[in-house]
Chain A
Amino acid sequence: MPKKEMPAGALVLLILRVLRSGPLHGYAIAQRIHTLSSEVLHVEEGALYPALQRILLQGWVTSDWGVSETNRKVRFYELTPAGRQQLEAEMSGYDRVHEAIQAVLRTA
Chain B
Amino acid sequence: MDKLLRRLRYLLNRRRFDDELANDLEFHREMAALAGGLPVGDPLRLREEAREAWGWTWLDRLGQDLRYATRLLRKSPGFTLAAILILAVGIGANVAAFGFFNLMVLRPLPVRDPASLLHFQRQAPAGYASVLPYPEFDFFRRHTTTLSGLIARSRGSLQMEGDEKPLKVHFVSANFFTELGTAATLGRLLDPTRDETPGADPVVVLSRGFWQRRFGADPSLPGRIIHLNGKPVTVVGVASDETSSLALETPDLWIPATQHPNLVPGSKLLTDYSVESSGEEVWGRLKPGLTPKAAEEELRSLAATLRTEHPEGIWENETLPSEPGGYVTSLLGRAHHGTGAKDPSEILPVASLLLALVLLILAVACGNLGGLLLARGVAREREISIRVSVGAGSARLIRQLLTESALLGLLGSAAGLGVGYLVMRGLMSATSTPLWLDPAPDWRVLLFCASMGLFSALLFGVTPAFQVVRQRHRATRTRQILISAQVAASCVLLIVAGLLVRALSHASADPGFEYRQVVTINPELGNHNYSPAQARTYLETFQSRLRSLPGIDAISASSAPPFGNKTVTMGAEFEGRILRVRTSSVDPSFFGTLRIPLQRGRDFTAGEKNALVISQSLGDLAWPGQDPLGKPINLGGHDCTVIGIVANAHVTSQQDKSAAEAYFPAADADLPSMILLVRTTTSPESLAPTLSSLAKDVDPKVMPDVQLMKNSFQRRLQDAQYGVLSISILAAIALFLACLGIAGLVAYAVSQRTKEIGIRMALGAKPADVVLIVMRQFARPLGIGLLLGAGAAAALSQVLRKILFGLGSLDPVAYFSAIALFTLTVALASIVPARKALRVDPMQALRND
Known: A44-B40, A57-B7. A27 touches B53 (CB 8 A): no
In-complex Cβ contact of A70 among B30, B49, B52 (8 A) = B30
Q: A residues 77-95 with Cβ under 8 Å of B?
A: none
Give B418 Cβ to nearest chain A Cβ, in Å. 43
Q: 10 A-B residue contacts at CB 8 Å?
A: A26-B24, A27-B27, A49-B21, A50-B49, A50-B50, A50-B53, A53-B53, A54-B53, A70-B34, A75-B20
**In the complex, are the beta carbons of B41 and A26 less than 8 A apart?**
no
- Residues of chain A within 8 A (CB-CB) of B46 are 45-46, 49
A54 to B31, CA, bound (A): 23
Give A76 Cβ to nearest chain B Cβ, in Å. 10
- Residues of chain A within 8 A (CB-CB) of B31 are 27, 68, 70
- Identify whether the interface residues of B are mostly helix, strand, loop, or mixed: helix
A59 to B54, CA, bound (A): 12
In-complex Cβ contact of A26 among B2, B10, B28, B34 (8 A) = B28
- Residues of chain B within 8 A (CB-CB) of A44 are 40
Per-residue CB proximity of B27-68 to A under 8 Å, as 1/0? 111111010000011000011011111110000000000000
Is A33 close to B, CB under 8 A?
no
Is B23 close to A, CB under 8 A?
yes
**In the complex, are the beta carbons of A49 and B52 less than 8 A apart?**
no
Q: A-side interface residues toward B, CB under 8 Å?
A: 25-27, 30, 44-46, 48-54, 56-59, 63, 68, 70, 72-75
A45 to B45, CA, bound (A): 11
For B9, the closest partner residue in chain A by CB is A57
For A28, the closest partner residue in chain B by CB is B31
**In the complex, are the beta carbons of B6 and A59 less than 8 A apart?**
yes
In-complex Cβ contact of B53 among A26, A57, A70 (8 A) = A57
For B32, the closest partner residue in chain A by CB is A27
Is B792 close to A, CB under 8 A?
no
**In the complex, are the beta carbons of B28 and A27 less than 8 A apart?**
yes
For A25, the closest partner residue in chain B by CB is B27
**In the complex, are the beta carbons of B28 and A57 less than 8 A apart?**
no
Q: B-side interface residues toward A, CB under 8 Å?
A: 2-3, 6-7, 10, 20-21, 23-25, 27-32, 34, 40-41, 46-47, 49-55
Give A51 Cβ to nearest chain B Cβ, in Å. 8
Most buried by A among B23, B27, B41, B54: B27
In-complex Cβ contact of B25 among A45, A59, A63, A73 (8 A) = A45
- Residues of chain B within 8 A (CB-CB) of A27 are 27-28, 31-32
- Identify whether the interface residues of A are mostly helix, strand, loop, or mixed: helix
- Residues of chain B within 8 A (CB-CB) of A45 are 25, 28-29, 40-41, 46
For B53, the closest partner residue in chain A by CB is A53
- Residues of chain B within 8 A (CB-CB) of A46 are 40-41, 46, 49
A63 to B46, CA, bound (A): 19
For B45, the closest partner residue in chain A by CB is A46
- Inter-chain pairs besides A26-B27, A49-B50, 14 sampled, C-beta below 8 Å: A27-B28, A46-B41, A50-B52, A53-B50, A56-B6, A57-B3, A57-B10, A57-B53, A59-B3, A70-B34, A72-B27, A72-B30, A74-B27, A75-B20
Known: A45-B41, A57-B10, A59-B2. A74 touches B53 (CB 8 A): no
For A69, the closest partner residue in chain B by CB is B31
**In the complex, are the beta carbons of A49 and B24 less than 8 A apart?**
yes
- Residues of chain A within 8 A (CB-CB) of B41 are 45-46
A48 to B53, CA, bound (A): 12
For B48, the closest partner residue in chain A by CB is A50
Give B222 Cβ to nearest chain A Cβ, in Å. 68
Known: A27-B27, A45-B25, A68-B27. A63 touches B53 (CB 8 A): no
A21 to B746, CA, bound (A): 77
Give B779 Cβ to nearest chain A Cβ, in Å. 60
- Residues of chain B within 8 A (CB-CB) of A63 are 20
A70 to B40, CA, bound (A): 22
For A73, the closest partner residue in chain B by CB is B23
**In the complex, are the beta carbons of B54 and A57 less than 8 A apart?**
yes
Known: A45-B41, A46-B41. A53 touches B54 (CB 8 A): yes
**In the complex, are the beta carbons of B51 and A53 less than 8 A apart?**
yes
Give B799 Cβ to nearest chain A Cβ, in Å. 55
A51 to B21, CA, bound (A): 12
- Residues of chain B within 8 A (CB-CB) of A70 are 30-31, 34
A49 to B3, CA, bound (A): 18
**In the complex, are the beta carbons of B6 and A57 less than 8 A apart?**
yes
A51 to B40, CA, bound (A): 17
Give A74 Cβ to nearest chain B Cβ, in Å. 5
**In the complex, are the beta carbons of B21 and A53 less than 8 A apart?**
yes
A72 to B29, CA, bound (A): 13
For A72, the closest partner residue in chain B by CB is B27
- Residues of chain B within 8 A (CB-CB) of A25 are 24, 27
- Residues of chain B within 8 A (CB-CB) of A26 are 24-25, 27-28
For B4, the closest partner residue in chain A by CB is A57
Q: Which 7 A-B pairs have the closest CB atoms?
A: A53-B53, A49-B50, A27-B31, A54-B53, A50-B50, A74-B27, A27-B28
- Residues of chain A within 8 A (CB-CB) of B6 are 56-57, 59
A53 to B7, CA, bound (A): 11
Most buried by B among A30, A44, A54, A74: A74
A52 to B25, CA, bound (A): 12
